[in-house]
Amino acid sequence: MYGKDFTTFHCENTLTSVPQGSKFLNIFEDEQVRLESFKRWPKTHPDPKSLARAGFFYKGQRDIAQCFFCAGCLVNWEENDDPWMGHAKCFPECKFVNTCTNLDHKNVQDESKCDNFPQQIQHTLFTPVPHQEKLQTLANRDVDVPTEDWFQEVTKLRHQLMDMYNNSQFTKLFPFADSSSVSIDLKSLFADISVTTKDSKNQPLAQLTLPDILSDLRDITMIEGEAGSGKTALLRKIAILWASGCCPMLSRFRLVFYISVPLIEKQQTLAQIISKHLAGTSPSLTDNILLNIIKQLKNQVLFLLDDYGKTDFVLEPIENLLQKNHWNRVSVAVTVRTDQGRKLRQYARTILSIQDFPLYSSIHIYQQLFSHDIPFLENFFAKMAFSDIFKTALKTPMFTCAICVFWIQTVNKELSTDLSICKAYLMYTKLKHPRERERVEASVSLCGDLALDGVFKSQFDFTDEDLTAIGLSGEDALRFGLLSKFTSQRLHPVYRFFYPTFQEFIASKRMDDLLQSENVIMKEKGLFYLQQINICLHVVGHSDFLKYCCMHSAEATSIIISHLFLLLNNHEAIEFQTDTKVNFQHNPDAAFRQEMIAMLRNTDINTYLSCVKQIIWNFAIQVIVRGNFLSQCAPIVLQFLKGQDITVNMFSPDMGLLVFLKLYPEGLSLIRSLRLSINNIRSTTGPVSNEDLAKVFSDVPTVEQDYSMAFKVKPENFGHLNLKNSMFQKLLDISDLDINASQHKIALLKVDVNGSIPDLETYLGNLLVFLSLTDHIDLELSNCPGFIEAVWPCIDLYGASFVKCSFHGVELNMTEQDLILQMSSLESLQMTQIHPPEYLLSHLDRLKKLKELILDVSDNMEVVRLFPEEFKELRSLEKFVLRNVNLMNDSTKLAKFIAAFSNLTCFHLKCDQCPEFERLLEGLSRNKNIQELYLEGWFLNEYIVSVASVLPLLPNLKIFDIKNMYFTNMYVDKASVFAVALASLAQLEELYLPGGPGICKEATTIIQQFQYLRNLRIISFPSNVLNDASLLQLAHAVRDGHLSKTEELDLTANHDITQSGWRDFFQLVDNLPKLNSLSISRAYGREIKADPLTFIALVQCVARLPSLRNLYMYSWLLDEKDIEMFNVMKIKHPQGKSLGLQWQWLLPFPAIVKD
């Protein structure tokens, strides 16, 4: 056609699931709405008007246009193409084309002339009745038909009113009439609104349905609601239902007058007002006739007064109607904005309040208007389901309609978030007042000041004084829809933004203005606000606000990103303790994220640091790429990348970092390591359930009210942080990314795979992109069977670059074991929770550069027998770990290996039996390089004297861990030998002591040896080995300076220590300048109340520990005064901003609180 063919593709019929007898609406049935979708249509293509007339709307991608009726799509348009002819040729079965053109598809008619075009089936709760039948039906209901003139006027008025209420000019609502053709036809589509009755004290009484409202329309009914809450739609729907003649609850009314109060002019009478609303079709209606009609019909007349109180002059006819209604006895329904109902309230018999728009109503509207794009709706609804903010944002029909318009005019509808609602609503609020643009902008700016101050004060209710302080006109803010005012039964009315996210959005615009202002004072004001986000936990909580701030300009974004990167280099900012429940109550998602990160900080500081850094990094790169600010922010990002460990989630929908590295490949050589993470959440173990936790915490604690804070209930969505992401997981194909790294290499590439991968072919292509960018590769696999074999081309090409392989829960077949053996540069091999790979283990000697071998097998199996004799030739081996192995027949062989590994520095052994353990110890004793030794097994009690005899022969031992050994009373003598031998470990830095009664009796002897262990950094006592006497001995050792280098002291679960013993310990402890972690926790179920004197001594002790950052004291019951005392001490403590007190158990159930 015209030298080329239209490229078409088939679209599924999205209406197939609609029940017979009904049909979804389609927002693009309106030609003007279709035309509106072409705002970003390529200019060199056919005229949008001709495309819209031919039934097409713009898809937002390339030049794809889709028919609203048949869903056919055409692409690759040329400027002179005829849309009608293309439509008819490619989709000859389209009824729209066949109806609007003749058979040869020429002489195309205008869409408005298509008389045979199928009409939309009405979708209401009432059965439609032809108009003449309605009138006849109503006439038949009149038993006594008067013949007076006033009745003739009533009959004429009825006809005129019904005609008007059935006219599309009345039934269609245009939320943004000046800027968009999108409309809602109330005759075909009406969604439920939430209405409640209120008492004289403004307290809700009952929830009402539409039939409830209709049946109770008598006297004066006041209906209050925020701007855009659906007040007008409700009144118009009542009029439409009355005009339909098939609503029994409205049949009692002979006349229904809908009056839009803002359209009333000065000096108009009530009769003139009604005549004007009837477009001048009732010139014979006079005030006398109207008065007579009201007098005769009384409560058979219903007035619907819309938007009462919006005029700046007194409307005498309306006021008289309300004030004298006790005489007239007509029914009046009046809608009023929440801030303008005080005067009306004195007249009203019934007060109704429109509540937040039900979410299901928004969904219903979207399903009806966008039925042509079901996949988009499904994705949109899925995302909405996981966002409390998003669901809260759709609180008015106006917001729901705003997002409809935004989708039509925005390419690809990419902003299907709460932010899109904010942008859409603000944009169309401005367009709605074209003659007052400057005034609107000024109000937006001043509202920005109000919102910005509120964001950092967690303030969401504002007074007249707050508005006056910044020079904001409350009337303007209300008129432009920026604020709502709540006055009923309030001595001090309050203003609010529609919802907190809208407040944050308005605040972000003001923040952007301040940060890029050339005025020094304004810029300093913006920086003042930014610097209030001075800790990393607040970044997590304020992430939504910061995201909004970074979408406006490159200058503001660069300032914010620089500030966040500086926080990551600030020790106090990272470890600062804060109360996560105070600042973000308005944002449940942010509050939850922040609380979970804070909990992580209390349990695993290293993971916390890594997580916080990754969160801020991901945030920064995301806002930079999405805002198209790469060129301006690239120097900041490159500076930050130096020496960083960066993670890229291959399942993430954000390609920000990869886009950046493609444009700036020099960043590759700056980072310390790049981790490619592919975590298939759906295939891995789910979050721990409350039922599982309940098995751990079997007893429900009983506690007095003053101490109930010691037990917190696990949040309902705890453990489901990844569930939201798993719903949208899709492995990205980046095989064509084509990063040029000819001059830049990644120092270390880490490939981390967790869970089975459904699309291995795609992942293979992704791997090949990065494997060529490095000479050092770490491979970490967890629960992903068959992965090694699937990516064999990668190993075949880059086998020499693999330096580390880690397998957890991965059974390796023969092919995969052989591929691993081809990794000639492999230095570390870790295999945990797997069946021993026999072929691989029997050929370990081929891995000549192996420095680390970790083997943790299942089922206590024999594995050492699989090692070849040549294994002992691996002189480079430095770390050797064997767990859960059976050595009954292989201990001799293992002893020979140990003796041969002259460079071995770390040895771990966990087994039940080791017959030749003394020979193994002899082999270790010959190696002066041993720095780390971990031993576990019941057999060790028999050999503890042998272990003690070896210790003096390990002069460089730094880590000694035998915490899982247990000395009973029968081994007291041996425990004494062991305790004395500890003195020989002069270089020891970490000591994890064994437990049992034998150690308890020798605890004092062990503590005496600390005077010789001056390098100890970590000391861990097991449970129930310390008592008051030994604890006092420890306090003296501390005071004498024997533990001056100690950084962590663990005294957990030593229940034989009394409060008096603890008090003496706290009073004596001093001279621990480097201690940063102290644990004095008790076991769950062994709670004790903190004695006031004991806690005072503890607080004084902590004040003398200048480096302390973590104090663990779970199962110590503290009250509010204790916490207050501790917090007062923190103010002057050197680590006060980072010092955390961990004492609250997180339980799956609430504790029993005694009265």
Do 295 and 171 belong together in one domain? yes
Q: How far is CA 17 from CA 23, 120, 372, in A?
A: 10, 17, 12
Can you name the residues that pair with 67 across neighbouring β-strands?
56
Q: Where are the alpha helices (DSSP H) in 370-431?
A: 374-385, 388-393, 397-409, 418-431
Q: Are 483 and 454 in contact (CB under 8 A)?
A: no
Q: Which of 341-355, 754-768, 961-975 has the lowest mean pLDDT?
A: 754-768
SS3 call for 366: helix
| pLDDT greater than 90 at residue 366 | no
CA nearest 649: which of 660, 659, 657?
A: 657
Pick 984 or 155 by higher pLDDT: 984
What's the number of domains the chain is made of?
4
- Which of 573, 598, 632 terminates a domain? The answer is 632
**Mean pLDDT in residue range 127-152:** 45
- Which of 295, 328, 355 terminates a domain? The answer is 355
Pick 960 or 173 by higher pLDDT: 960
Rounded Cα distance, 853 and 882, in Å: 8
Rounded Cα distance, 943 and 946, in Å: 5
**Mean pLDDT in residue range 683-701:** 57
Q: Where are the alpha helices (DSSP H) in 516-651?
A: 520-530, 536-541, 543-549, 554-568, 571-575, 580-583, 588-603, 605-626, 630-641
Query: Residue 18 is part of a domain; what is its CATH number?
Result: 1.10.1170.10
Token representation of residue 631: 């060129």
Q: Are 844 and 868 in contact (CB under 8 A)?
A: yes
What pLDDT, in 10s, does the model give residues 410-432?
A: 755 554 566 777 777 787 677 67
Rounded Cα distance, 558 and 89, in Å: 52
| pLDDT greater than 90 at residue 23 | no
SS3 call for 405: helix
Query: Residue 331 is part of a domain; what is its CATH number?
Result: 3.40.50.300
Amino acid found at 1114: Y
Q: Are 816 and 791 in contact (CB under 8 A)?
A: no
Q: Where are the alpha helices (DSSP H) in 267-357?
A: 270-277, 287-297, 316-323, 325-328, 342-345
SS3 call for 979: helix
Rounded Cα distance, 1055 and 1028, in Å: 10
Torsion, Cα 421 427 431 436, to 10 degrees, reads 120
Token representation of residue 767: 């791997």
| pLDDT greater than 80 at residue 782 | yes
**Mean pLDDT in residue range 61-85:** 86
| pLDDT greater than 70 at residue 4 | no
**Mean pLDDT in residue range 665-689:** 74
Q: Are 425 and 399 in contact (CB under 8 A)?
A: yes
Pick 281 or 1098 by higher pLDDT: 1098
Within 13 Å, how many C-alpha atoms sit on residue 636's CB side?
A: 21
**Mean pLDDT in residue range 224-248:** 91
Q: Which of 52-56, 419-423, 837-841 has the lowest mean pLDDT?
A: 419-423
Range 359-367 contact pairs with CB under 8 angstroms and sequence separation of 24 or more: 359/391, 359/394, 360/192, 361/191, 361/192, 361/193, 361/397, 361/400, 362/191, 362/394, 362/400, 364/191, 364/192, 365/184, 365/189, 365/191, 365/397, 365/400, 365/401, 365/404, 366/400, 366/404, 367/24
What pLDDT, in 10s, does the model give residues 856-883?
A: 998 788 999 999 999 999 999 999 999 9
First CA to last CA across the chain, in angstroms?
86
User: Predicted confidence band at 740 (pLDDT cuts at 50, 70, 90)?
Assistant: low
Do 392 and 331 belong together in one domain? no
User: Predicted confidence band at 339 (pLDDT cuts at 50, 70, 90)?
Assistant: confident
Strands (E), 628-689: 645-649, 673-679
| pLDDT greater than 70 at residue 127 | no
Do 332 and 365 belong together in one domain? no
Torsion, Cα 1109 1112 1118 1124, to 10 degrees, reads 0
**Mean pLDDT in residue range 243-262:** 91
Q: How far is CA 916 from CA 472, 570, 921, in A?
A: 86, 52, 9
Do 179 and 260 belong together in one domain? yes
Q: How far is CA 1051 from the centre of its chain?
A: 38
Rounded Cα distance, 683 and 758, in Å: 10
User: Predicted confidence band at 5 (pLDDT cuts at 50, 70, 90)?
Assistant: very low
| pLDDT greater than 50 at residue 124 | no
Do 229 and 331 belong together in one domain? yes
Average pLDDT score, the chain: 84
Pick 43 or 89 by higher pLDDT: 89
| pLDDT greater than 80 at residue 1000 | yes
Whether residue 346 lies inside any domain: the answer is yes
So what's the pLDDT on residue 223? 94
Strands (E), 42-94: 56-58, 65-67, 73-75
Whether residue 193 lies inside any domain: the answer is yes
Whether residue 621 lies inside any domain: the answer is yes
Token representation of residue 513: 């203005």
Amino acid found at 1120: E
Token representation of residue 272: 């003139």
Judge if pTM exceeds 0.75: no
Whether residue 610 lies inside any domain: the answer is yes
Q: How far is CA 666 from CA 437, 516, 642, 741, in A?
A: 46, 29, 11, 8
Do 347 and 259 belong together in one domain? yes
Token representation of residue 984: 């020989």
Rounded Cα distance, 270 and 255, in Å: 15
Do 375 and 312 belong together in one domain? no
Rounded Cα distance, 633 and 26, in Å: 43
524 backbone dihedrals φ, ψ, rounded to 5°: -65, -30
What pLDDT, in 10s, does the model give residues 742-761?
A: 778 899 999 999 887 776 77
Do 260 and 175 belong together in one domain? yes
Residue by residue, DSSP assigns 729-746 as: ------TT-----SS--B
**Mean pLDDT in residue range 79-87:** 87
Do 84 and 180 belong together in one domain? no
Amino acid found at 970: M
Rounded Cα distance, 872 and 425, in Å: 73
Can you name the residues that pair with 754 across neighbouring β-strands?
679, 782
Do 173 and 321 belong together in one domain? yes
- Three-state secondary structure along 278-301? CCCCCCCCCHHHHHHHHHHHHHHE
Can you name the residues that pair with 909 across neighbouring β-strands?
882, 935
| pLDDT greater than 60 at residue 17 | no
User: Predicted confidence band at 684 (pLDDT cuts at 50, 70, 90)?
Assistant: very low
So what's the pLDDT on residue 751? 93
SS3 call for 879: strand
Residues 6+ apart with CB under 8 A from 908: 880, 881, 882, 883, 932, 933, 934, 935
DSSP state of 747: S
Q: Which of 132-141, 246-255, 820-829, 1134-1143 has the lowest mean pLDDT?
A: 132-141
Rounded Cα distance, 179 and 182, in Å: 9
**Mean pLDDT in residue range 1050-1066:** 97
Q: Are 393 and 416 in contact (CB under 8 A)?
A: no
Whether residue 476 lies inside any domain: the answer is no
If phi > 0 it is left, if psi is from -120 to 50 it is alpha, else beta; for residue 937 that is: left
Do 208 and 149 belong together in one domain? yes
**Mean pLDDT in residue range 705-718:** 78
Rounded Cα distance, 612 and 622, in Å: 15
State which residues form the domain around 211: 131-355
Whether residue 164 lies inside any domain: the answer is yes
So what's the pLDDT on residue 103? 39
Q: How far is CA 781 from CA 262, 693, 752, 809, in A?
A: 69, 28, 6, 8
Q: Which of 384-388, 753-757, 946-950 has the highest mean pLDDT?
A: 946-950
1144 backbone dihedrals φ, ψ, rounded to 5°: -100, 125
Q: What percent of the chain has pLDDT above 90? A: 45
Residue by residue, DSSP assigns 236-249 as: HHHHHHHHHT--GG
DSSP state of 769: H
Do 21 and 73 belong together in one domain? yes
Q: Are 351 and 345 in contact (CB under 8 A)?
A: yes
| pLDDT greater than 90 at residue 36 | no
User: Predicted confidence band at 555 (pLDDT cuts at 50, 70, 90)?
Assistant: very high
Whether residue 91 lies inside any domain: the answer is yes
**Mean pLDDT in residue range 136-146:** 40
Token representation of residue 867: 């090692």
So what's the pLDDT on residue 15? 33
Whether residue 790 lies inside any domain: the answer is no
Q: Are strands 702-704 and 1152-1154 parallel, antiparallel or unpaired?
A: parallel
- Which of 577, 598, 632 terminates a domain? The answer is 632
Token pair 């209606």: residue? 285
